[in-house]
Every structure is written in C-alpha cells, then in structure tokens.
Amino acid sequence: MKTKNELILKGLPISEGITIGKPYLFLKDENPIPDFDISKEDVQSEIIRYREAIIRSENDLKKLQSSLKDDDSYEILDILGSHLEILQDPFITSEIEKRICSECRNSESIFQDSIIKFKAKFKNIDDSFFQERVRDIIDVSRRILHHLRNENSLSAKKIPVQSIVISSELVPSDIAEISVGQVSGFVTQRGGATSHSAIIARAKEIPYVAGIDISCFKEENIETIIVDGSKGKVIANPTKERLDYYQKLIQDKRGFYQNLKESSVRKTETKDGFSINLFGNIDSIDEVDLVLKHNAAGVGLFRSEYLFLANNSFPTEDVQFKIYKKLVEKLSSLPLVVRIFDVGGDKSIKNHDEILKEWKNELNPVLGCRAIRFLMKNPKYLKTQLRAILRASELSKIGILVPMVSDISELFFVKEAIDSVKAEILNEGVHFKENISLGCMIEVPSSAIMSDEIAKHADFLSIGTNDLIQYVLAADRTNPQVSDIYSLLHPSILRLIVGVVKSAQKYNKPLILCGEAAADPKLIPILIGLGIKEFSVSAQHVPIINYTIQNICLSNAVKLAKKALELTSFKSLKELVESQSNLD
C-alpha cells in the first residue's frame, strides 16, 4: 500500500468556504441504452411511454421547486424553471416523437441518438453561456432517460452524509437535489464559475473547486481531503498540523457568519461615517425579494436578457412592461437599473433563423456582434424594450444601462432612440418620466480609456469588472488554466479604474462597480480607496459586503489604494492586499 503523502492540488475557486471530509467518487451510470425496432402497431404506445417520462420529469422538477420555495433559493428556482421550459422545447417533444414514428425504434434509442447529435453539432461553439444551455439540455435529457429506463433512484441520493463529492462534472440537478447536510463540498475536473452548477453550489453555500485532475482520488489511500473554495485549493491526506489549522479556521468562520446572519443590516457606511450605496444584481423578478430582505439600496443591475434566453424568443412590449412594472412596484421608491439586452452569438437563441444567420459563422462571438452592436443592427428589438421601460418609468426611478460600449457613437445611438420613442409614445398619450437616466457600461478597454468623453454625455457609469478584466488581461474568466492571471489585482486594471473614477468625478456623475470583484471582501477596501462609492453585487453577498464596509476606515483605505497604485506587478499587489486584512 502506498504511503499516505499529503497532496496539494490547485484549481478554480467556484464556491467559497472551507470543508473537511471523506471523498466520495461520484461517477455517472454509463449502462448501454437499449436499441431495438418496434412494430407500426406499437408506435403510439411508445410515444405515450415517452410522454409519460416527460411528465414524470416535470413532476420531479416541480416537486424540487416546491421544496426550495421557502429557502430563499431564488437562483436555483430560476434554473429549475428553465429546465421545465426545456421540457416543452420542440427538440424534446415533437422532434423526438416524429423520429419514433418514422424510424420505428424504441424511444430511449431515438432520444439518446438525438442528444448525441445535438452535442456534436454545438461542441465547437466556444462560449460559456451557450455551453451552459447545452449542459442544461443534457441534464434534462438524463432525467428523461432515467424515467424511460425505470431506474429506481437518482445516484446522488446514495451519497453518504458529510461526503465531499468528487466527479468529472456535475450538472445542475445533481447539486440541486443534494441537501447541505448531506454533502459538505464538491471537487470536479470540469466546471466554470458562471455555470448553473456553480450558481446552485453558491446558493447552497457549499464549497466547490473545479479544474482538478480527479484521477488521484481513485487511489484507495486517500481518506481525508480539505476543500478550500476561497482559494481554489484541494488538499488530500493533509498533515496533522494542516488539519488542525483548517479545523480552527472553519470553527472561527462558522461563528462569524452565524453572527452576521443573525445581526440586523445597518446603514452601509465606513467606520468613519463615509456613506456607500450597496445595490443588488438580479436576473429575475423573484430575486428582488432577497434584495429587499438584505436592505440593499435598490437594484444596480437587472440583466434583462434573461427575460428571453430561457424561452429562446424576444418578449413583446406588453410582456416586458408587465415585468418592469412588477419590478418597480416591488422596489417601491428604490432605484432600478435595467441593462438593455446583452445578447449576441455568445448566447443561445433558437426559433429566430434570421438572427442566427448573422451569428452562424462568428469565430469568436464574445468579441462579435453582441449587446449594443447587435441592437444597432436590429433596432426593432431596442425600440420594443425602450417603449416598455419608458412606460414603466412613470411608476419609479429607472435607469437604462447600455452594455458593451466600445465607441461613444453607440451611446448617442441609444440616446436618439430614447428621444424617438419618447415622442412616439407621447403622441399615443402614454405618460413617462422625462428625466430617465442613461448609463454606459465600462467593460471594454476602449470605453475605459475614453471614459472622460463618455462621462460628459452619460448620466451615470457602471464598471463591469468581469468583462473588463478578461478583455484587458486576455484571460478567459471561465478557464481554470488562466485563473491565476484573471484578477482585478493587476496594475493595469487598477489604473483603468482610477481613470474612470476621475472621469465620473470631473462631471459629477454616479459610478457603480459591479461584477465578481464587487462581491470580494478582500477587494472592497482598495476599491473604496480608489474612489468607488457605489457597488452592485448578487443579493446573497449584500450582508457580507455591508459588514466589510462597516469595518473599513476611509482614511486607511485611501492609504492602501495609494500604496497599491505605486506597485507594478500582480504578485506585489496580491501580497499587499493579503497583508492588509484589517484596516481598523
């Protein structure tokens, strides 16, 4: 038997937290799918059997949704909702039934073959959002096959209590059906920080690290592992000293977070009384409840494209109006910032052949015809959305945010479109707020460099750190191979932020910073020191960021930022931030 040597593996941090437990190798069942011919007389009964599998799959998801409704699991509910919608997709329903009729083969075989062809067709589209949609369809297909084959239970339910699940990849339903007490952590070979599985793991507050070679866990001599979801580290067979260290760390953090959850959220300001506006990011109406529960200052970013991405179609003006109206009614007098459709070849939209033709041959859709670029080529979608937003603006304070701006002419285009729509609906006798604000997302290097000119014409600015970092550093934020490069703590990023801050200050324009960086407590002091006064984070991060801000002295944060701007490498900046864990 091999010696139980300590093994330290570095991967991609997916969900924060630290846990210790025994590894459980979670391998999917790969039993062969039966493939046989059926008679013409049996075709109808085979279709009925297939439809029953879909109905049972729907019942599974609805039951899971019902069990999560009282847990503030808004993001999980949205993902499960999209899975229910996939079950109504023609690809899943009528197309499979047509093949059963025409080929006279059993439904399992037809279904499996269709999924294999689907995966092959889209495997070369290198985009995280689109691939996540593909994974969702595959996840749903596994559920349908599970019922077609009359399997007794999902393998996830057989996992021992307090296990750390080791798997090549986890799909959303694997994690959604796991209770927090059952599993204490996840380690996978594949997976990204923006995947649906990652979102669910974070919502359940289960530590998760991806990008790990799991072959070593097939060894019998690994009994204990530590998963550090904050640093993306997995430690197999830790030494006694390291085990003791992490056990104390877990105990200390558990006490801290329990006190944080039990304490009421106070006004967001630093220790020395400097006010900060802390907003929430949302993808759906349901998430507003969590924003309000945590006493955020409003919604700093509503990703409106999620209104249609699940349905693969653009919503009508009336559908959008009802959604925006419901949002402002829930928020009452609190502000709402609606980011206009950030859609393009990087996101999946079916049933729109004329649009898909534009994107079909894009080699790199993330840098292609997306967001404002797409809307300028397809102004009818922009006009429909602006009409709906303006109609809802009468009820509350709404801001319109333009994504992916790389040239000021794009901002002017939206300004002109708003003026045109105002005149149009005014003639129709529709009321709206005349002074609706128009903001510009700073997430492309060119817009950061030209922020002085943009700030002159925009009503507010919003720094999108996720895209800005990956575009400036040429590092894909979903790729674990460059996770050590992708970071806000690079001199170029900090200097660009300072430039945007100065531009906003020069013209007295509000500036919001959003993205993953805004939700990182370690980065908040340096960002406040750089002059950021407004943050927008996912609703579940509001309490910890509020607490972090309350324990910062502005004067110390300014000193830290000044010191940071003198440094010239990522390594030195990282060391500085890690040494400044307390700014009291």
> What is the residue-wise DSSP string for 97-111?
HHHHHHH-B-HHHHH
The CATH number of the structural domain formed by 265-579 is 3.20.20.60
Rg (CA), the chain: 25
Neighbours of 52 (CB within 10 A): 12
Q: What is the mean pLDDT of residues 130-150?
A: 75
The one-letter code for the residue type at 76 is I
Listed residue (19, 63, 257, 35) closest to 145, CA to CA: 35
547 sits in which H/E element = helix 542-550
Pairwise CA distance, residues 365 & 369, whole Å = 7
CB 99, CB 114: distance < 8 Å? yes
According to the model, what pLDDT value does residue 339 have?
A: 95
Domains 40-148 and 265-579 fall in the same CATH topology: no
Question: Which residue in this structure is represented by tokens 């999924």?
Answer: 115
Report whether pLDDT(1) > 50.
Answer: no
CB 468, CB 443: distance < 8 Å? yes
Report whether pLDDT(347) > 60.
Answer: no
The CATH number of the structural domain formed by 7-29+155-260 is 3.50.30.10
CB 3, CB 219: distance < 8 Å? no
* Residue 104 is a catalytic residue: no
Q: Which residues touch 545 (CB under 8 Å, ≥6 apart)?
A: 278, 518, 519, 521, 524, 535, 537
The length of the chain in residues reads 584
Report whether pLDDT(3) > 60.
Answer: no
Beta strand pairing call for 12-15 and 208-210: antiparallel
Listed residue (473, 483, 475) closest to 11, CA to CA: 483
Q: What is the mean pLDDT of residues 283-312?
A: 80
Report whether pLDDT(264) > 50.
Answer: no
Report whether pLDDT(528) > 90.
Answer: yes
Q: Tens digit of pLDDT for each residue in 483-523?
A: 778 889 999 999 999 999 999 999 999 999 998 899 889 99
Catalytic residue among 83, 146, 147, 196: 196
CB 522, CB 555: distance < 8 Å? no
According to the model, what pLDDT value does residue 154 have?
A: 45
Q: Which residues touch 572 (CB under 8 Å, ≥6 apart)?
A: none
- Per-residue tokens: 466: 């996720």
* Residue 457 is a catalytic residue: no
Give the CATH class of 40-148: mainly alpha
Q: What is the mean pLDDT of residues 1-24?
A: 82
Q: Tens digit of pLDDT for each residue in 166-185?
A: 988 887 777 777 776 778 89
Domain boundaries, the chain: 7-29+155-260, 40-148, 265-579
Band of pLDDT at residue 582, cut at 50, 70 and 90: very low
According to the model, what pLDDT value does residue 525 have?
A: 96
According to the model, what pLDDT value does residue 451 have?
A: 97
Band of pLDDT at residue 363, cut at 50, 70 and 90: low
Report whether pLDDT(370) > 90.
Answer: no
- Per-residue tokens: 196: 């649906």
Pairwise CA distance, residues 114 & 550, whole Å = 54
According to the model, what pLDDT value does residue 149 have?
A: 78
The one-letter code for the residue type at 525 is P
Reported pTM: 0.65
Listed residue (65, 72, 550, 439) closest to 292, CA to CA: 72
